Structure 1
Amino acid sequence: MSFVGNWYGFLGYYNHSRKKLDKAEKYYKSGMEKGMDKANYRLAYGVLLLKKGEFAKAKDIFSGILINTPKENTKMMAKTNLSLAYWKLGEIDIAIEMLEEVQRKYNNSRVYGTLGYLLIEKGDLDKALEYNIQALDYDDEDPVILDNLAQTYYFMGDIEKAKKYFKEAEGLKEEQADTLYYLGCIYADQGDIEQAKEKLNKALECNITTLSTITREQVEDKLKELS
């Protein structure tokens, strides 16, 4: 165990929790150079890298945790995050396989939410629908699960069901950018342009990261289209 490395890790974690991400990254980097080995600090650093779009670096961090950490729940957290890195690196089948393995050992709403979206992303909408209905049975108050089911219906062309579940997701989490974006698209298609613009402008106020299911450019392009 490296006292110096983990001290830097603590400083990184402290600043990370206070949204001072540049300072957090600086300390995490120093911690890694000095042998930071506490899994929670490495996990947090990996998540920061994911949100910055540094997927290969994040992959290395999470892979190292899997190798060096004996705690099963920590391994499952690392594997869940590692699946996101694989997804963003273009290896969606590996990502799905990893999450299915995690779910067999350590199930929770986050796993349902992540795997449910990846099935949509892969394009297997029938499987995504079956899975996301199962996820809703597991937790019908998780906004990500509700959004996943709504997106599945949206891409299958069942707009009324999609709208229903998007609105339920919005009721639970008003600042979920993808929910607002798709609601904006639905309102626009239904001719309610003012409501569409309201949802899209609200989406732009959200924290859209590289892990979001839509991009800031998508939202801006849709607003330009409506203008």
Structure 2
Amino acid sequence: MPTTLISVIGSPGSGKSTLCGALAERFVAAGRSVDHFAEEDILTRPAFADVATEFAGGAGSVRPATLIAATRRYLRQAELDGIEVLITDALLPYIPSLLAWGYDEPAIDAIVAELGRVAPPTEVIIVRLADDPRATLVRAADREGPAWLDWYVSKLRRSPGTGHVTDLDSAADHLRAEAELTRRALRRTGWTMIDLEVGERGPADLADRAWQLLAEASP
């Protein structure tokens, strides 16, 4: 069976990590071979060793060519290993990082297009958790503690492409613009994109709905 990569993306606090874990469990229960790629795994996975090296080199960024090559290695190895489903937390298509590093929309379009070229034969499905960014940031701060929001805003403010972010409201505005740019870029890839409204859904309800939409999207 061909490999399918399901990338769950969305604002901080939207429930990406929880949903990834729930989907991984469901696919395993359904008898599928699964690799659950957590957000922090990008710095420890062998396929992404060059990414970790560049990021640790002091610039705080990674060349797009390095990201693309690492993605190719990860997908080809998964295919060779016979892994049927890759569940990734905030991995492809790297748009939040690319924006923070100062890439504009035409450059991001070109990078995403190249990712689209290296992905096959792996099928890519993007699940975008749609929610009000201000609400998700508040939710993340409630979960992580009072210092988290200051850390997040400071991280964006220090980055060349997001230096305009100075507080909660400007961070939320940035995330809204990021979501729109992501939609535009992904429309050009031919990948399946699922917009999943979070709203008042709890984790179990969100997982049920995602499972249903993924089943509908399967050929």
Taking structure 2 as the reference length, the TM-score comes to 0.30
Larger-Rg structure: 1
RCO higher in structure (CA 8 A, sep ≥6): 2
Taking structure 1 as the reference length, the TM-score comes to 0.29
| Structure (1/2) with the larger strand percentage | 2
